[in-house]
Amino acid sequence: MTVDYSDLVKFKEQLQRVEKEFDTFLRNFLYEQALRALAKTIKNTPVDTGLLRASWQLSDIIRKGDNLEIWLCNYVNYAGYREYGHMTSNRKGWVEGKFMCTIAIAEVEREMQARWNREFGAWIKSMGL
């Protein structure tokens, strides 16, 4: 009696390919989401001189254990004050923050699960599974 294992061998090879290429897919997905957040943040940023809006940037993707991190940063010294709010110079009033980055990240996070389901499904399909 002979047994044909060719389909099982093919499936094993497909799984090995998925395992090998998953990190690249995941990094690309994360970077795409970060770019969405960056674009929304830039759009939300008020313009006085343009310096604050022009100074938003993304860090490299960093692996920390099982997690991947990417930072959306602005190193202009008053960026935090515009984001979260601040006291007036005479200490008698409060200037509300614009929350340009906070709002952008929340918007991207709301859309992320549906986008993940769609893109991961398409990627798995492209891998032959």
Q: Tell me the per-residue pLDDT of 80-107, one tens digit each, with 9 for 90 and over.
A: 999 999 999 999 999 999 999 999 999 9
CA distance 101 to 122: 30
pLDDT attached to residue 108 = 98
pLDDT attached to residue 75 = 96
CA distances from 97 to 46, 59, 120 (A): 11, 24, 36
Q: Tell me the per-residue pLDDT of 2-54, one tens digit each, with 9 for 90 and over.
A: 778 888 888 888 888 888 999 999 999 999 999 999 999 999 999 999 999 99
CA distance 93 to 71: 32
Statement: residue 1 has pLDDT above 80? no
